[in-house]
Amino acid sequence: MSGLSHARQDGLMAAMDAIEVADGQCARGSPRWRRNRSIEVQRGFHDREFTILGWFALEYLILPESSSSKRRLVILISGRGSNMQALVRACRDEAWPAEVCAVIASRPDAAGLSWAHEQGIATGALYHKDFPNREAFDTALAEEIDRYQPDYVLLAGFMRVLTPGFVNHYAGRLVNIHPSLLPMFPGLHTHAQALATGVQLHGCTVHFVTPVLDHGPIIAQGCVPVHGGDTPDMLADRVLAVEHQAYPAAVRWLVEGRVHLTADQRVEVDGEPPRLFRGVDAA
Protein backbone atom coordinates (compact mmCIF):
# COMPACT_ATOMS: atom_id res chain seq x y z
CA MET A 1 0.00 0.00 0.00
CA SER A 2 3.07 2.22 -0.25
CA GLY A 3 1.71 4.17 -3.23
CA LEU A 4 -1.44 5.19 -1.35
CA SER A 5 -1.98 8.32 0.71
CA HIS A 6 -2.20 7.88 4.52
CA ALA A 7 -5.91 8.63 4.48
CA ARG A 8 -6.56 6.00 1.79
CA GLN A 9 -4.27 3.50 3.61
CA ASP A 10 -6.18 4.02 6.84
CA GLY A 11 -9.51 3.68 5.04
CA LEU A 12 -8.38 0.46 3.34
CA MET A 13 -7.01 -0.98 6.62
CA ALA A 14 -10.29 -0.26 8.34
CA ALA A 15 -12.27 -1.91 5.52
CA MET A 16 -9.99 -4.99 5.59
CA ASP A 17 -10.22 -5.09 9.37
CA ALA A 18 -13.99 -5.09 9.15
CA ILE A 19 -13.97 -7.94 6.60
CA GLU A 20 -11.42 -9.96 8.60
CA VAL A 21 -13.21 -9.36 11.86
CA ALA A 22 -16.41 -10.49 10.20
CA ASP A 23 -14.76 -13.57 8.69
CA GLY A 24 -12.54 -14.28 11.67
CA GLN A 25 -9.44 -14.29 9.39
CA CYS A 26 -6.06 -12.76 10.30
CA ALA A 27 -2.62 -13.86 11.43
CA ARG A 28 -2.40 -15.03 15.03
CA GLY A 29 -0.74 -12.31 17.17
CA SER A 30 -1.20 -9.54 14.58
CA PRO A 31 -2.76 -6.22 15.67
CA ARG A 32 -5.95 -7.24 13.85
CA TRP A 33 -5.94 -10.66 15.55
CA ARG A 34 -5.49 -8.94 18.92
CA ARG A 35 -8.33 -6.55 18.13
CA ASN A 36 -10.54 -9.49 17.08
CA ARG A 37 -9.67 -11.33 20.29
CA SER A 38 -10.55 -8.26 22.26
CA ILE A 39 -13.92 -8.02 20.48
CA GLU A 40 -14.56 -11.74 21.10
CA VAL A 41 -13.61 -11.41 24.76
CA GLN A 42 -15.90 -8.39 25.12
CA ARG A 43 -18.69 -10.26 23.35
CA GLY A 44 -18.14 -13.28 25.62
CA PHE A 45 -18.14 -10.99 28.64
CA HIS A 46 -21.38 -9.38 27.49
CA ASP A 47 -22.90 -12.83 26.90
CA ARG A 48 -21.91 -13.86 30.41
CA GLU A 49 -23.22 -10.58 31.81
CA PHE A 50 -26.54 -11.19 30.11
CA THR A 51 -26.60 -14.76 31.36
CA ILE A 52 -25.93 -13.58 34.92
CA LEU A 53 -28.49 -10.77 34.57
CA GLY A 54 -31.03 -13.28 33.22
CA TRP A 55 -30.39 -15.59 36.14
CA PHE A 56 -30.84 -12.72 38.61
CA ALA A 57 -34.09 -11.69 36.95
CA LEU A 58 -35.38 -15.27 37.07
CA GLU A 59 -34.27 -15.91 40.63
CA TYR A 60 -35.21 -12.64 42.26
CA LEU A 61 -37.80 -10.96 40.03
CA ILE A 62 -39.75 -13.52 38.01
CA LEU A 63 -39.80 -16.68 40.17
CA PRO A 64 -40.76 -14.98 43.44
CA GLU A 65 -43.68 -13.36 41.64
CA SER A 66 -44.96 -16.70 40.36
CA SER A 67 -44.47 -18.43 43.72
CA SER A 68 -46.11 -15.49 45.52
CA SER A 69 -49.14 -16.05 43.29
CA LYS A 70 -49.54 -19.31 45.22
CA ARG A 71 -51.73 -19.01 48.29
CA ARG A 72 -49.95 -20.09 51.45
CA LEU A 73 -51.81 -22.53 53.69
CA VAL A 74 -51.17 -23.53 57.28
CA ILE A 75 -53.22 -26.44 58.63
CA LEU A 76 -53.93 -26.95 62.33
CA ILE A 77 -54.67 -30.43 63.65
CA SER A 78 -55.03 -32.23 66.96
CA GLY A 79 -55.14 -35.91 66.00
CA ARG A 80 -54.99 -38.30 63.05
CA GLY A 81 -55.40 -35.49 60.50
CA SER A 82 -57.38 -37.29 57.80
CA ASN A 83 -58.87 -33.95 56.67
CA MET A 84 -55.37 -32.46 56.57
CA GLN A 85 -54.28 -35.38 54.38
CA ALA A 86 -57.24 -34.86 52.05
CA LEU A 87 -56.29 -31.18 51.73
CA VAL A 88 -52.60 -31.89 51.09
CA ARG A 89 -53.39 -34.56 48.48
CA ALA A 90 -55.95 -32.41 46.66
CA CYS A 91 -53.60 -29.41 46.66
CA ARG A 92 -50.83 -31.54 45.14
CA ASP A 93 -52.86 -33.79 42.80
CA GLU A 94 -55.10 -31.04 41.45
CA ALA A 95 -52.20 -28.55 41.21
CA TRP A 96 -53.97 -25.83 43.16
CA PRO A 97 -52.41 -22.37 43.02
CA ALA A 98 -51.43 -22.98 46.65
CA GLU A 99 -48.95 -24.71 48.89
CA VAL A 100 -49.32 -26.23 52.32
CA CYS A 101 -46.50 -24.48 54.16
CA ALA A 102 -46.91 -26.08 57.56
CA VAL A 103 -48.98 -28.41 59.67
CA ILE A 104 -49.14 -27.40 63.33
CA ALA A 105 -50.66 -29.55 66.06
CA SER A 106 -52.13 -28.70 69.44
CA ARG A 107 -50.31 -31.69 70.89
CA PRO A 108 -46.90 -33.18 70.09
CA ASP A 109 -48.26 -36.73 69.75
CA ALA A 110 -50.82 -35.84 67.05
CA ALA A 111 -50.60 -38.76 64.60
CA GLY A 112 -51.02 -36.53 61.55
CA LEU A 113 -47.69 -34.80 62.21
CA SER A 114 -45.54 -37.72 61.08
CA TRP A 115 -47.55 -38.09 57.87
CA ALA A 116 -47.08 -34.38 57.11
CA HIS A 117 -43.37 -34.65 57.89
CA GLU A 118 -43.05 -37.59 55.46
CA GLN A 119 -44.60 -35.38 52.77
CA GLY A 120 -41.81 -32.84 53.30
CA ILE A 121 -44.12 -30.33 54.98
CA ALA A 122 -42.83 -28.26 57.91
CA THR A 123 -44.44 -29.34 61.16
CA GLY A 124 -44.74 -27.88 64.62
CA ALA A 125 -46.56 -28.58 67.86
CA LEU A 126 -47.57 -26.57 70.89
CA TYR A 127 -48.90 -28.29 73.95
CA HIS A 128 -51.53 -26.32 75.81
CA LYS A 129 -50.35 -27.71 79.15
CA ASP A 130 -47.07 -25.84 78.65
CA PHE A 131 -48.93 -22.50 78.79
CA PRO A 132 -50.46 -20.75 81.81
CA ASN A 133 -53.73 -19.87 80.05
CA ARG A 134 -55.65 -19.88 76.78
CA GLU A 135 -54.44 -16.41 75.75
CA ALA A 136 -50.78 -17.40 76.20
CA PHE A 137 -51.30 -20.55 74.14
CA ASP A 138 -53.10 -18.67 71.36
CA THR A 139 -50.43 -15.96 71.30
CA ALA A 140 -47.68 -18.56 70.91
CA LEU A 141 -49.75 -20.42 68.31
CA ALA A 142 -50.26 -17.25 66.26
CA GLU A 143 -46.51 -16.53 66.42
CA GLU A 144 -45.76 -20.02 65.14
CA ILE A 145 -48.38 -19.73 62.37
CA ASP A 146 -47.25 -16.26 61.29
CA ARG A 147 -43.70 -17.50 60.66
CA TYR A 148 -45.22 -19.01 57.50
CA GLN A 149 -47.15 -15.88 56.48
CA PRO A 150 -50.26 -17.83 55.52
CA ASP A 151 -53.08 -16.56 53.34
CA TYR A 152 -55.40 -19.09 55.00
CA VAL A 153 -55.30 -21.00 58.26
CA LEU A 154 -57.30 -24.21 58.06
CA LEU A 155 -58.61 -25.94 61.16
CA ALA A 156 -58.78 -29.65 60.43
CA GLY A 157 -59.86 -31.48 63.54
CA PHE A 158 -58.22 -28.83 65.73
CA MET A 159 -59.79 -29.52 69.10
CA ARG A 160 -59.24 -26.20 70.84
CA VAL A 161 -61.62 -23.33 71.44
CA LEU A 162 -59.81 -20.25 70.13
CA THR A 163 -59.79 -16.86 71.84
CA PRO A 164 -61.51 -13.89 70.13
CA GLY A 165 -58.09 -12.22 69.81
CA PHE A 166 -56.77 -15.16 67.81
CA VAL A 167 -59.89 -15.42 65.64
CA ASN A 168 -59.92 -11.68 64.91
CA HIS A 169 -56.22 -11.77 64.01
CA TYR A 170 -57.12 -14.14 61.15
CA ALA A 171 -60.52 -12.66 60.27
CA GLY A 172 -61.58 -13.80 56.81
CA ARG A 173 -58.60 -16.18 56.63
CA LEU A 174 -59.55 -18.76 59.26
CA VAL A 175 -61.62 -21.73 58.07
CA ASN A 176 -62.98 -24.74 59.96
CA ILE A 177 -64.72 -28.01 59.23
CA HIS A 178 -67.35 -29.03 61.74
CA PRO A 179 -68.99 -32.48 61.75
CA SER A 180 -72.64 -31.39 61.59
CA LEU A 181 -74.96 -29.45 59.38
CA LEU A 182 -74.56 -26.11 61.13
CA PRO A 183 -76.30 -24.35 62.73
CA MET A 184 -77.46 -27.71 64.11
CA PHE A 185 -75.27 -29.38 66.71
CA PRO A 186 -72.42 -27.00 67.47
CA GLY A 187 -69.85 -28.20 70.01
CA LEU A 188 -68.79 -31.76 70.75
CA HIS A 189 -70.39 -35.20 70.21
CA THR A 190 -72.25 -34.08 67.14
CA HIS A 191 -72.99 -37.61 65.90
CA ALA A 192 -74.48 -38.63 69.23
CA GLN A 193 -76.50 -35.39 69.21
CA ALA A 194 -77.79 -36.21 65.74
CA LEU A 195 -78.84 -39.72 66.76
CA ALA A 196 -80.43 -38.43 69.95
CA THR A 197 -82.61 -35.95 68.08
CA GLY A 198 -83.70 -38.39 65.39
CA VAL A 199 -82.64 -36.25 62.40
CA GLN A 200 -82.66 -38.18 59.16
CA LEU A 201 -79.95 -36.11 57.54
CA HIS A 202 -76.57 -35.30 59.06
CA GLY A 203 -73.28 -34.03 57.68
CA CYS A 204 -70.51 -31.48 57.89
CA THR A 205 -69.97 -27.77 57.35
CA VAL A 206 -66.97 -25.82 56.07
CA HIS A 207 -67.20 -22.27 57.36
CA PHE A 208 -65.26 -19.12 58.13
CA VAL A 209 -64.50 -18.91 61.82
CA THR A 210 -65.94 -16.10 63.93
CA PRO A 211 -65.50 -15.56 67.67
CA VAL A 212 -68.77 -17.48 68.21
CA LEU A 213 -68.06 -21.22 68.51
CA ASP A 214 -68.97 -23.29 65.41
CA HIS A 215 -70.55 -20.34 63.74
CA GLY A 216 -69.69 -18.24 60.72
CA PRO A 217 -70.39 -17.85 57.00
CA ILE A 218 -70.90 -21.26 55.39
CA ILE A 219 -68.74 -22.08 52.38
CA ALA A 220 -69.84 -25.70 51.75
CA GLN A 221 -71.73 -28.52 53.38
CA GLY A 222 -71.80 -32.28 53.03
CA CYS A 223 -74.77 -34.48 53.88
CA VAL A 224 -75.33 -38.14 54.63
CA PRO A 225 -78.44 -40.07 55.66
CA VAL A 226 -78.88 -41.33 59.19
CA HIS A 227 -79.84 -45.02 59.21
CA GLY A 228 -81.78 -46.89 61.85
CA GLY A 229 -79.27 -48.84 63.94
CA ASP A 230 -76.47 -46.31 63.38
CA THR A 231 -74.01 -45.82 66.20
CA PRO A 232 -72.14 -42.53 66.64
CA ASP A 233 -69.03 -44.21 65.20
CA MET A 234 -70.86 -45.49 62.13
CA LEU A 235 -72.28 -42.05 61.54
CA ALA A 236 -68.89 -40.43 62.12
CA ASP A 237 -67.32 -42.64 59.42
CA ARG A 238 -70.08 -41.78 56.96
CA VAL A 239 -69.72 -38.06 57.68
CA LEU A 240 -65.92 -38.19 57.50
CA ALA A 241 -66.07 -39.50 53.93
CA VAL A 242 -68.09 -36.48 52.82
CA GLU A 243 -65.84 -34.14 54.85
CA HIS A 244 -63.00 -35.29 52.59
CA GLN A 245 -65.00 -34.08 49.59
CA ALA A 246 -66.38 -30.82 50.96
CA TYR A 247 -63.25 -29.43 52.65
CA PRO A 248 -60.84 -29.74 49.71
CA ALA A 249 -63.48 -28.35 47.33
CA ALA A 250 -64.11 -25.32 49.55
CA VAL A 251 -60.41 -24.59 50.05
CA ARG A 252 -59.80 -24.92 46.34
CA TRP A 253 -62.43 -22.20 45.71
CA LEU A 254 -60.69 -20.05 48.31
CA VAL A 255 -57.21 -20.37 46.83
CA GLU A 256 -58.64 -19.75 43.38
CA GLY A 257 -59.97 -16.43 44.72
CA ARG A 258 -63.58 -17.35 43.99
CA VAL A 259 -65.07 -16.96 47.47
CA HIS A 260 -66.67 -13.65 48.42
CA LEU A 261 -68.60 -12.43 51.42
CA THR A 262 -71.75 -10.42 50.86
CA ALA A 263 -72.60 -7.39 52.98
CA ASP A 264 -74.91 -9.60 55.06
CA GLN A 265 -72.09 -12.09 55.68
CA ARG A 266 -73.16 -14.82 53.28
CA VAL A 267 -70.69 -16.60 51.05
CA GLU A 268 -70.88 -16.44 47.29
CA VAL A 269 -68.62 -18.51 45.05
CA ASP A 270 -67.75 -17.43 41.51
CA GLY A 271 -69.04 -19.90 38.94
CA GLU A 272 -71.73 -20.99 41.42
CA PRO A 273 -70.51 -24.56 41.87
CA PRO A 274 -72.79 -26.94 43.81
CA ARG A 275 -71.89 -26.30 47.44
CA LEU A 276 -73.73 -29.25 48.91
CA PHE A 277 -71.80 -32.52 48.71
CA ARG A 278 -73.71 -35.79 49.00
CA GLY A 279 -72.10 -38.72 50.75
CA VAL A 280 -72.05 -42.17 49.17
CA ASP A 281 -75.57 -43.15 50.09
CA ALA A 282 -77.18 -39.71 50.31
CA ALA A 283 -79.19 -39.75 47.09
Catalytic residues: 178
Closer to ligand GRF by Cβ: residue 80 or 89: 80
Other beta carbons within 10 angstroms of residue 181's beta carbon come to 22
User: Looking at beta carbons only, is 85 or 163 nearer to ligand GRF?
Assistant: 85
* Binding span for ligand GRF by CB under 6 A among 51-59, 75-83, 117-125, 226-234: 75-83
Rounded to an integer, what is the distance from CA 75 to the centroid of its chain? 10
Determine if 248 is a binding residue for ligand GRF (CB under 6 A). no
Tell me: does residue 177 bind ligand GRF (CB under 6 A).
Answer: yes
Nearer to ligand GRF, 75 or 269 (CB): 75
Which residues neighbour 77 within 8 Å (Cβ) at sequence distance 6 or greater? 83, 84, 103, 104, 105, 106, 110, 112, 113, 156, 157, 158
Q: Which residues are CB-neighbours of 37 under 8 A, at least 6 positions away? A: none
Least distance between ligand GRF and beta carbon 77 (Å): 6
Residue with Cβ nearer ligand GRF (175 or 204): 204
Residue from 150, 157, 216, 222 in contact with ligand GRF (CB under 6 A): 157
Residue 185: which of 173, 174, 199, 175 has the closest Cα? 199
| Nearest-angstrom CA–CA distance, 21 and 33 | 8
Q: Quick check: 83 binds ligand GRF (CB under 6 A)?
A: yes
Closer of 141 and 240 to ligand GRF (Cβ): 240
Does residue 82 belong to the site contacting ligand GRF (CB under 6 A)?
A: yes
DSSP bridge pairs for 202: 224
Q: Residue 225 forms beta bridges with which residues?
A: 201
Residue 283 CA to residue 273 CA, distance in Å, equals 18
89 binds ligand GRF (CB under 6 A): no
Stretch that binds ligand GRF, among 4-12, 81-89, 117-125, 161-169 (CB under 6 A): 81-89
Contact 9/17 with Cβ under 8 angstroms? no
Instruction: Name the residue number minimizing CB distance to ligand GRF.
Output: 157
Q: How many CB atoms lie within 10 A of CB 87?
A: 26
**Identified binder of ligand GRF from the candidate list 179, 216, 248, 279, rule CB under 6 A:** 179
Binding site for ligand GRF (CB under 6 A): 77, 79-83, 156-157, 177-179, 204, 240, 243
